[in-house]
């Protein structure tokens, strides 16, 4: 089993690497690859506890850490309508349709299926949207929805499964459980956020802080779930709070954190999406007692209802918002984008695999319908999403220009403040600066002006008049070539045993940091 998981991880990383090199959406290629090899390799069972307690917390935490609390607050109404309202609506519509289509299936299990497939996974949509320049507000809404909708769906799922296994659950009992899960998740998340913020203020050790960062999502999730609160909300709250305060951490913590979470996201997402495709044989083999044609018809209906429900909700809410605010609201193109960005993910599959205490025939059918909905939305909506964005002409070019303009203005203000502080410090020197001090001061002034000039140059796309290379671009190109030449000298001296490996690593780190600054 261990060797099998190692092959899975290695293969998933390899496929994801090919997708990155080709500029393709990695989640879609991983799912397709999993589907193709599923009949050819031994079954790799998807363990619900592994997904919910190992994969989900760090992925949620990383997304929250990288999100903008201020932008999410501005879009809170849209995020709430999608992460709570749309999940409730999809659960109800899918549950009723499935019950009408399969009257022998208990109503509670029909609603459980609705809750399972209600929450979209925005990883694929956000990856495509960022690459194609989707407007920031649309990306913020999709990210915010994906952060909070799992909490709503998993709570509804627990209520529905409880009703199916243990008897009737009243509407008020279900509402009470939902409110407790949400409020408990927020309370635990805030409590842990304050605790870790206090710890980080007193550590000032990038290695310790980033090690704690790796433990935080698991601790928050387990703490909330142990009291039947929402672990998802707890993790998201901690991530948003600490991410909003990341500027208070040391530069080492921020640099390491960025690298750590990029690697973590890449690795976990690769495994997760490959696992989705690899469930094909397991899911199909479990279906018994139904004709293949009937099961295919059920799957097509559930997939269609899931996709249409999102469009109905998005356009209905958009219409109400525009009427309420007298025409102000998302454009038709933005509404179409939000409506089509409904790809489902591994959380839905994990919830379906965790169903227990019901008839095996019913469980196998729910698992199959979940699997086909996840695969259908990923392959149908995911593969057409880029073309839809291009066709609608939705772009963030104006936002990007405004960002560059704002950055240049901010760099100018920061330059003036930094130079004023430099002049103040020079004034505090004893006597006139000597020759060496004057050179150092001049280097500091020149470096500050170069940073500000680089920001203004980016407004012109990084080129000078007539498409010529700008001074900053020329400086970066020449300095990179110089750094490569310097590295070769250090390596040659190491090979000649005139420089120790430990010294080589130290000087290489210095050169690498300088090149990283040039790249940024």
What is the DSSP secondary-structure string of 61-124?
HHHHHTS-HHHHHHTHHHHHIIIIIIHHHHHHHHHHHHHHH-TTS-HHHHHHHHHHHSS--THH
Closest CA to 128 of 387, 401, 399: 387
Any bridge partners for residue 463, and if so which?
A: 469
d(CA 409, CA 413): 6
Please tell me the predicted confidence (pLDDT) of residue 131: 76
Say how many C-beta atoms besides its own lie within 10 A of residue 166's C-beta: 10
Q: What is the 3-state secondary structure (H, E, C) of 119-145?
A: CCCCHHHHHHHHHHCCCHHHHHHHHHH
pLDDT of 267 strictly over 80 = yes
pLDDT at 292 over 70: yes
Q: How many CB atoms within 10 Å of residue 352?
A: 26
Task: Please name which of 374, 307, 295 lies closest in space to residue 93, comparing C-alpha atoms.
Answer: 307
Asked if residue 257 has pLDDT above 80, the reply is yes
State the Cα–Cα distance between residues 333 and 314, nearest whole angstrom: 12
Q: What is the pLDDT of residues 82-114, one digit of tens each?
A: 999 999 999 999 999 999 999 999 999 999 999
Question: pLDDT at position 288, please?
Answer: 81
3-class SS string, 247-298 = HHCCHHHHHHHHHHHHHHHHHHHHHHHHHHHHCHHHHHHCCCCCCHHHHHHH
Q: pLDDT, tens digit, for every residue of 18-40? A: 999 988 888 989 999 999 999 98
Copy the structure tokens of residue 373. 């909905």
The pair of structure tokens assigned to 331 is 């454009």
Task: Give the orientation angle of helix 501-519 with respect to helix 471-495, to 10 degrees.
Answer: 170
pLDDT for residue 238: 97
Sole residue written with tokens 């591994």: 346
- Higher-pLDDT residue of 253 and 460 is 253
Band of the pLDDT at 433, cuts 50, 70, 90? Answer: confident
CB atoms within 10 A of CB 33: 21
CA-closest candidate to residue 486, choices 515, 517, 516, 446: 515
> In this predicted structure, what is the pLDDT of residue 135?
86
Q: In angstroms, rounded to a whole number, what is the distance separating the alpha carbons of residues 234 and 151?
A: 10
Does residue 173 surpass a pLDDT of 80? no
Q: DSSP 3-state helix, strand, coil percentages of the chain (rounded to 5)?
A: 80, 0, 20
Can you tell me the distance from the alpha carbon of 106 to that of 111, in angstroms, rounded to the nearest whole number?
A: 9
The whole-number average pLDDT for the span 480-498 is: 92
For residue 133, name the pLDDT band (cuts at 50, 70, 90): confident
Does 330 or 160 have the greater pLDDT score? 160
**Beta-bridge partner residues of 469:** 463
Q: What is the pLDDT of residues 42-71, one digit of tens each?
A: 888 788 999 999 999 999 999 999 899 999
Average pLDDT of span 247-264 = 89
Q: Look at residues 287, 301, 223 and name the one whose alpha carbon lies nearest to residue 57.
A: 223
The band of 438, judged by pLDDT with boundaries at 50, 70 and 90, is: confident
The band of 167, judged by pLDDT with boundaries at 50, 70 and 90, is low
DSSP 341-378: -----HHHHHHHHT--SS-HHHHHHHHHHHHHHHHHII
Nearest to 135 by CA among 405, 336, 342: 336
- Measured CA to CA, the distance from residue 329 to residue 66 in angstroms comes to 26
What predicted TM-score, i.e. pTM, was given to this entire model?
0.86
The C-alpha angle 66, 132, 232, rounded to 5 degrees, equals 30
Rg (CA), the chain: 27
Confidence tier at 435 by pLDDT (50, 70, 90)? confident
| Stronger pLDDT, 416 or 305, i.e. the higher one | 305
What is the average pLDDT score of the chain?
Answer: 88
What is the token pair recorded at 162? 């409880």
pLDDT band (50, 70, 90) for residue 464:
low
Is a pLDDT exceeding 70 seen at residue 411? yes
What is the mean pLDDT of the segment spanning 266-294? 91
Q: What is residue 169's predicted lDDT score, i.e. its pLDDT?
A: 62
So what's the pLDDT on residue 1? Answer: 59
163-167, 230-234, 240-244, 262-266: segment of lowest average pLDDT? 163-167
Is residue 168 pLDDT above 70, yes or no? no
Q: Please write the tens of the pLDDT for every residue from 108-125.
A: 999 999 999 999 987 777
């Amino acid at each position: 089993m261990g060797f099998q998981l190692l092959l899975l991880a290695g293969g998933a990383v390899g496929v994801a690497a090919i997708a990155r090199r080709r500029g393709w959406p990695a989640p879609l290629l991983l799912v397709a690859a999993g589907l193709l090899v599923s009949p050819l390799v031994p079954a790799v069972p998807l363990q619900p506890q592994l997904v919910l307690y190992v994969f989900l917390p760090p992925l949620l935490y990383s997304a929250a850490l990288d999100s903008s609390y201020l932008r999410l607050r501005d879009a809170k109404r849209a995020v709430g309508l999608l992460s709570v309202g749309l999940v409730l609506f999809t659960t109800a519509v899918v549950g009723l349709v499935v019950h009408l289509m399969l009257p022998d299936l208990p109503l509670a299990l029909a609603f459980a299926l609705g809750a399972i497939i209600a929450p979209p996974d925005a990883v694929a949509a956000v990856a495509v949207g960022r690459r194609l320049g989707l407007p920031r507000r649309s990306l913020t809404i999709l990210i915010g929805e994906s952060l909070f909708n799992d909490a709503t769906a998993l709570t509804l799922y627990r209520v529905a499964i409880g009703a199916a296994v243990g008897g009737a659950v009243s509407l008020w009992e279900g509402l009470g459980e939902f409110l407790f899960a949400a409020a408990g998740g927020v309370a635990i998340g805030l409590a842990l956020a304050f605790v870790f913020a206090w710890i980080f203020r007193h550590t000032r050790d990038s290695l310790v802080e980033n090690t704690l960062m790796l433990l935080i999502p698991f601790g928050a999730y387990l703490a909330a779930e142990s009291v039947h609160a929402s672990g998802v909300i707890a993790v998201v709250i901690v991530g948003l709070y600490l991410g909003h305060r990341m500027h208070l951490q040391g530069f080492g913590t921020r640099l390491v954190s960025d690298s750590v979470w990029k690697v973590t996201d890449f690795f976990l997402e690769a495994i997760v999406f490959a696992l989705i495709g690899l469930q094909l044989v397991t899911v199909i083999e479990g279906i018994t007692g139904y004709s293949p044609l009937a099961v295919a018809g059920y799957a097509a209906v559930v997939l269609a209802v899931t996709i249409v429900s999102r469009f109905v909700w998005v356009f209905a809410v958009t219409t109400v918002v525009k009427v309420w605010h007298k025409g102000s609201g998302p454009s038709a193109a933005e509404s179409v984008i939000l409506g089509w960005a409904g790809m489902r993910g591994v959380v839905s599959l994990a919830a379906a695999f965790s169903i227990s205490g019901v008839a095996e025939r019913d469980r196998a059918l729910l698992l199959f319908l979940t699997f086909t909905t996840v695969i259908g939305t990923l392959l149908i909506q995911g593969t057409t999403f880029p073309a839809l964005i291009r066709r609608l002409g939705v772009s963030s070019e104006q936002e990007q220009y405004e960002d560059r303009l704002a950055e240049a203005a901010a760099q100018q203000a920061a330059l003036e403040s930094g130079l004023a502080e430099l002049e103040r410090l020079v004034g505090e020197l004893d006597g006139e600066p000597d020759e060496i001090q004057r050179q150092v001061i001049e280097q500091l002034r020149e470096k500050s002006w170069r940073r500000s000039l680089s920001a203004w140059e980016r407004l012109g796309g990084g080129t000078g008049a007539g498409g010529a290379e700008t001074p900053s671009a020329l400086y970066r190109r020449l300095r990179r070539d110089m750094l490569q030449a310097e590295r070769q000298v250090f390596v040659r001296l190491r090979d000649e045993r005139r420089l120790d490996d430990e010294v080589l690593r130290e000087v290489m780190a210095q050169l690498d940091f300088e090149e990283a600054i040039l790249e940024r």
